[in-house]
């Protein structure tokens, strides 16, 4: 091996490394655009069954079917925004006019009732806590400011929302657009296999994401009924947030349960703990547990078995690995990403023993 060959090899390696770094930097710079594309892809997968239904059953033209589907999705998004924005603004106004001393007294009274009910402290400690004014130095003024800033952020996201919906429209209308772009990088001999893999992935992920929508809807209905029965303020918003948190595997339900517990207890500040707050909160949490049981033994098994066709243990391990590698985002995208990989492996490595075992249900 000559010095010239070695130097050329080193230069090629350096060129590859520089190219990879430049590509990574470029992708980092356009990360917001990639996020828009990813969200638009999910929306298009959710809307795909509706488009197919309108085209096949009602004989709609493709463009008309896509427009009707997008109007339906926009209506749902607008309904969610219309639900949250006025409540955030109203809550911010209420908090800005709140008597902070009265709020402090209510919180301290609630705390004292809790430790007295459970016999967690002596009378001397209770008296010292009462005299210490725990929340005296706590500035509640940040809450309305935070809510107002959140409204501002939601307003600035309108451009992103428009971009996502615009991209999703063309994903639905020109479904071959993305596929044709991929085919440019694939040899002619592999195009048929890749096309088959893409169609399978779209079918599986469409069922998966539609299943997630129904999962959230079922939990939302259960939580809303429970919260309305026991007179919890802002029941719709709390139910929606707790149901939405369920999208984060394993961690989301814990956060949702803690959120519902705290909001249920603080919705009756100033009331008697043993006769009002504790019973009402207990019943609400029983309703939350019932919702989780329905989700764990009905919704999730149905989604995983009929959409991604994977064993629950397999899904558990994939989600844990995704969480360890990429945090919460990894846990959310673990199942659809793993499903896509399985489909591609089955199509291109179908003779491999491990691949056969993992993809036997696909």
Q: What is the pLDDT of residues 231-258, one digit of tens each?
A: 887 788 788 888 888 887 778 888 888 8
Q: Are 59 and 187 in contact (CB under 8 A)?
A: no
| pLDDT above 60 for 283 | yes
**137 — phi, psi (to 5°)?**
-100, 5
| Calpha distance 87→67 (Å, rounded) | 30
Six-digit token pair at 198? 């893409």
Q: Are 230 and 284 in contact (CB under 8 A)?
A: yes
pLDDT-based confidence at residue 134 (cuts at 50, 70, 90)? very low
Angstrom distances, CA of residue 208 to CA of 18, 111, 292, 336, 337: 39, 44, 19, 8, 12
Range of the domain at 239: 189-361
Mean pLDDT computed over 295-321: 77
pLDDT-based confidence at residue 120 (cuts at 50, 70, 90)? low
Examine residue 236 and state whether it is found in any structural domain, yes or no. yes
Angstrom distances, CA of residue 189 to CA of 185, 193, 213: 12, 8, 38
| pLDDT above 80 for 144 | no
How much is the pLDDT for 209? 83
Examine residue 304 and state whether it is found in any structural domain, yes or no. yes
Examine residue 176 and state whether it is found in any structural domain, yes or no. no
pLDDT-based confidence at residue 269 (cuts at 50, 70, 90)? low
| pLDDT above 70 for 138 | no
% of the chain beyond a pLDDT of 90: 2
How much is the pLDDT for 149? 56
Examine residue 63 and state whether it is found in any structural domain, yes or no. no
| pLDDT above 60 for 15 | yes
Give pTM, 2 decimals: 0.67
Examine residue 170 and state whether it is found in any structural domain, yes or no. no
- Domain count across the chain: 1
How much is the pLDDT for 112? 67
Higher pLDDT pick, 272 / 338 = 338
Examine residue 302 and state whether it is found in any structural domain, yes or no. yes
Mean pLDDT computed over 326-336: 78
Six-digit token pair at 273? 């703990």
Examine residue 28 and state whether it is found in any structural domain, yes or no. no
pLDDT in tens, 145-180: 554 555 555 555 666 777 888 888 888 887 766 677
pLDDT-based confidence at residue 98 (cuts at 50, 70, 90)? very low
pLDDT-based confidence at residue 97 (cuts at 50, 70, 90)? very low
């Amino acid at each position: 091996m000559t010095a010239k060959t070695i130097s050329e090899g080193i230069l090629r390696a350096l060129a590859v490394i520089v190219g990879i770094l430049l590509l990574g930097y470029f992708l980092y710079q356009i990360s917001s655009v990639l996020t828009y594309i990813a969200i638009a892809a999910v929306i298009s997968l959710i809307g795909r069954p509706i488009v197919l239904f309108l085209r096949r059953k009602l004989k709609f033209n493709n463009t008309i079917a896509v427009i009707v589907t997008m109007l339906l999705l926009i209506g749902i998004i607008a309904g969610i925004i219309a639900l949250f924005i006025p409540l955030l603004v109203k809550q911010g106004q209420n908090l800005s006019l709140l008597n902070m001393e009265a709020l402090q007294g209510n919180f301290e009274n609630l705390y004292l009732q809790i430790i007295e009910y459970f016999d967690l402290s002596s009378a001397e400690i209770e008296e010292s806590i009462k005299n210490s004014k725990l929340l005296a130095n706590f500035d509640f003024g940040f809450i309305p400011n935070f809510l107002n800033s959140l409204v501002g952020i939601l307003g600035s996201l309108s451009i992103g929302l428009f971009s996502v919906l615009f991209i999703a429209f063309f994903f639905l209308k020109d479904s071959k657009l993305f596929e044709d772009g991929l085919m440019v990088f694939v040899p002619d001999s592999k195009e048929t296999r890749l096309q088959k893999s893409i169609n399978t992935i779209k079918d599986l992920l469409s069922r998966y994401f539609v299943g997630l929508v129904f999962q959230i809807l079922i939990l939302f209905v259960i939580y809303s009924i429970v919260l309305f029965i026991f007179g919890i303020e802002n029941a719709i918003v709390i139910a929606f947030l707790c149901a939405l948190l369920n999208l984060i595997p394993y961690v989301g339900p814990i956060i949702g349960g803690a959120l519902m517990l705290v909001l249920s207890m603080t919705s009756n500040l100033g009331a008697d703990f043993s006769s009002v707050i504790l019973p009402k909160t207990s019943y609400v949490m029983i309703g939350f547990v019932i919702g989780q049981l329905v989700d764990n033994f009905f919704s999730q098994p149905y989604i995983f078995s009929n959409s991604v066709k994977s064993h629950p243990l397999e899904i558990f391990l994939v989600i844990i690995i995704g969480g360890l590698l990429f945090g919460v985002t990894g846990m959310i995208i673990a199942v659809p990403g793993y499903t896509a990989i399985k489909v591609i492996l089955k199509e291109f490595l179908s003779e491999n023993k491990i691949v056969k075992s993992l993809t036997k249900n696909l």
